[in-house]
Every structure is written in C-alpha cells, then in structure tokens.
C-alpha cells in the first residue's frame, strides 16, 4: 500500500492552522457560554432574519417612546415644581395683604407693598424657568422666556396708571392691561407662543398634552393681583391710607380666589404625571418582553455549549501534546 507523507514545514503549518481554528472555536464558545447568546446569528437562524428584524424594530420604536416619556416626565415635574412655588408665594402674599389691610398703620401696608414687588420678581422668574434649555411655559416657543422681566412689566404698569386718582382707577387699568385681548400683557408681557407644545407620544395610541402656558388665565390672575399689591403704595399716585388699603384688600382677596384656579391646573398636571408614569411602566414591560423574545431567539443551550467547549479544550490539549512530541523527535527515537 502506498503511503503519503508531508514534509516538516507543511506539517508545522497544518498544526498551527489547527491550533488557530481550535482557539477561535474556544473563544466563540466561551463568549456564547458567558452571554447565553449565539455568536453566529446567520447560522443559528438558518438565514431567516424576519422575526429578529421585527423584534429589533419594535425595540427601536419603544426606545423612542421611552425617550419621549422621559422628557414628558421631566417637563411635568419641572412644571409642577414651578407652579407649586407660584402658589406658595401668592398664597403667602394673600395672607400678608389681608392682615396688613385690617390695621390702620401705614408702615406695614407700605412694607407689604414692597414685599409684593419682590414676589412679582419671584413669580416672573419662576414662570420663566426652563429645563434642558427649553422654556416651560412658552408653548411651542421653547427657545425664549415666557414673560418679559418683572422690572419691564412693572415699568409698563406704572406708566399706564400715571394720572389715576382713585384705587378703582388703578384696579381697572391693571385689570385691562392683563386681561383685555390685545392688551399690554398680550403685546408686551407674554413673549411665548399662543400655540401649545405638541403632545408627547407614548405609543399604543397614547400621548400626553402639556399645553400649559404663562398666558393661562389662572396664572395671569396671580400676576395681576400681585402687581396691584406692588402698586398699592406707589408714591407717584400720592394715595392716602384708605386707598392703599382698598388696593391691598382687592389684591389679597383676588390672590386667595386665584388659589383655587392654581390648584385646579396643578391637579390637571398631576393627572398628566400619572398617565406618564403608567406609560413608562407599560413601555418598560413591552421592552422587557421583546428583549426576552430576542434572548429566546438567539439563545444557546448552556449544557450543549459547555459540552462542546470541553471537547474543544480536549482537542487543543491533544494538539499541544502532539506538537511537543514532534518537536522532540530525533532520528534515534524515530528508528527505535
């Protein structure tokens, strides 16, 4: 029988090639055993990627909805915090106005008026809040502050009431400035858009609408009555104690009434927060389900993989043994 042999160089190349292949197979099996997923997707799926593509597409869509829900949660949380601060400040001012106007001393009345101007600064600053560079209460115009500065608003109001002779004149002028269509608030005070932000999509036909702007009637009321309180002791008017008290009583009662409106819009916002939380939970569940389905589709049997890994390790050890023996082979050992 004819025997075919290979030269030393060819034999060395063959051994190196087998060593490389076995190491690659061992690395692949180690990765599959640690991850629980196949490293050769095409072979594992027999070339049929349709189901996997559907799962991957679903996960990408859910990731988009998850980002939208996260952004909506940030907006509602920031809005709720801002409105809570507005309500706290206006409620505290209302109590101070009612208390000061019940007395007959001018000093506390003037002091509360100065506090009201500070509170006006606080309210405007709070309503001009932004998150991630986007204004909260400007509607779709998130690139700019919702309101003009408190100083500019108060300057406009002082100009408007110049020449007023009674507390009723001041009340009527300020009320028209804030409430009349096309009045000072619409043309100068509010800088945002009259179009609300687009709803945040949540998937599954769900969306959350956060159309809450600084030109909301309830927010206007808080600003309007705070402004009246700040103007109650305006020196240029030259009002006496009774007129100042009348302005502060009107402002205090108006701010107390405004609390119901602020509570109402905060309750609506709370409902939106609840819906967002529900959708966040639903999206997380759907993502988990799809990730599980992907794991089942691409998963490998750990017992079978471990068995194959042991077999490859044995083959590699055997190859090392053969390589060592061949490297030590001499003519004497070959002939013996």
**pLDDT tens, position by position, 54-87:** 888 988 998 999 999 999 999 999 999 999 999 9
Going by C-alpha positions, the residue among 218, 201, 329 that lies closest to residue 275 is: 201
- Residue 312: HSE in the Cβ half-sphere, 13 Å Cα cutoff: 19
pLDDT tens, residue by residue, 205-223: 888 888 899 999 999 999 9
Mean pLDDT of 19-45: 59
Q: What's the pLDDT score for residue 45?
A: 60
pLDDT tens, residue by residue, 287-299: 888 888 877 676 5
Query: H-type helices in the chain, by residue range?
Result: 8-35, 41-44, 50-101, 106-127, 150-161, 167-179, 184, 217-231, 241-298, 302-327, 331-335
Q: What's the pLDDT score for residue 235?
A: 87
Whether the pLDDT of residue 331 is over 50: the answer is: no
Kindly indicate the confidence band of residue 202, based on its pLDDT and cuts at 50, 70 and 90. Answer: confident
pLDDT tens, residue by residue, 40-57: 555 556 666 678 788 889
pLDDT tens, residue by residue, 180-199: 999 999 999 999 999 988 88
**What is the distance of C-alpha 132 from the center of its chain?**
8
**Domain positions in the chain:** 52-291, 302-336
Here the tokens at position 292 are 């599980």
pLDDT > 70: percent of the chain: 73
**Contact of 108 with 127, CB cutoff 8 Å:** no
Kindly indicate the confidence band of residue 272, based on its pLDDT and cuts at 50, 70 and 90. Answer: very high
Kindly indicate the confidence band of residue 323, based on its pLDDT and cuts at 50, 70 and 90. Answer: low
Provide the CATH topology of domain 52-291.
Answer: f41 fragment of flagellin, N-terminal domain (1.20.1330)
| Weakest mean pLDDT among 128-137, 217-226, 232-241 | 232-241
pTM of the model: 0.76
Mean pLDDT of 14-38: 60
Whether the pLDDT of residue 245 is over 70: the answer is: yes
Q: What's the pLDDT score for residue 31?
A: 63
**SS3 category, 147:** strand
Kindly indicate the confidence band of residue 15, based on its pLDDT and cuts at 50, 70 and 90. Answer: low
Give the single-character DSSP code of 75: H
> What does the mean pLDDT of the chain come to?
83
Going by C-alpha positions, the residue among 136, 132, 143 that lies closest to residue 86 is: 136
Going by C-alpha positions, the residue among 28, 26, 30, 44 that lies closest to residue 295 is: 44
Mean pLDDT of 152-179: 95
Q: What's the pLDDT score for residue 90?
A: 96
Q: What's the pLDDT score for residue 106?
A: 87
pLDDT tens, residue by residue, 85-111: 999 999 999 999 999 888 888 899 999
């Amino acid at each position: 029988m004819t025997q075919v042999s290979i030269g030393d160089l060819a034999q060395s190349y063959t051994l190196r090639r087998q060593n490389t292949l076995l190491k690659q197979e061992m690395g692949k099996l180690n990765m599959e055993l640690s991850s629980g997923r196949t490293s050769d997707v095409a072979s594992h799926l027999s070339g049929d990627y349709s189901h996997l593509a559907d799962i991957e597409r679903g996960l990408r869509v859910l990731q988009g909805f998850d980002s939208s829900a996260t952004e909506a949660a940030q907006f509602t949380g920031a809005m709720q915090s801002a409105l809570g601060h507005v309500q706290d400040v206006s409620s505290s001012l209302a109590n101070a106005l009612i208390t000061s106007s019940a007395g007959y001393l001018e000093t506390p009345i003037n002091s509360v008026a100065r506090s009201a101007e500070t509170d006006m600064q606080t309210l405007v600053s709070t309503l001009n809040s932004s998150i991630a560079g986007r204004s909260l209460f400007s509607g779709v115009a998130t690139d700019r502050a919702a309101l003009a500065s408190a100083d500019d608003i108060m300057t406009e109001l002082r100009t408007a009431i110049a020449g007023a002779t009674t507390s009723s004149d001041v009340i009527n002028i300020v009320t028209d400035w804030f409430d009349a269509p096309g009045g000072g608030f619409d043309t100068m005070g509010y800088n945002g858009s009259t179009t609300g932000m687009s709803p945040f999509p949540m998937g599954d036909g769900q969306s959350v609408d956060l159309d809450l702007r600084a030109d909301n009637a309830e927010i206007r009321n808080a600003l309007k009555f705070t402004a009246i309180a700040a103007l109650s002791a305006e020196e240029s008017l030259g009002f006496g104690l009774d007129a100042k008290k009348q302005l502060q009583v009107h402002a205090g009662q108006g701010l107390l009434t405004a609390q119901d409106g602020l509570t109402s819009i905060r309750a609506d916002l709370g409902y939106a927060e609840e819906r967002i939380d529900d959708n966040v939970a639903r999206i997380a569940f759907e993502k988990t389900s799809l990730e599980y389905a992907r794991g089942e589709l691409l998963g490998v049997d750990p017992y079978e993989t471990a068995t194959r890994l042991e077999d490859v390790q044995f083959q590699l050890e055997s190859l090392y043994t053969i390589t060592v023996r061949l490297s030590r082979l001499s003519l004497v050992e070959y002939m013996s």
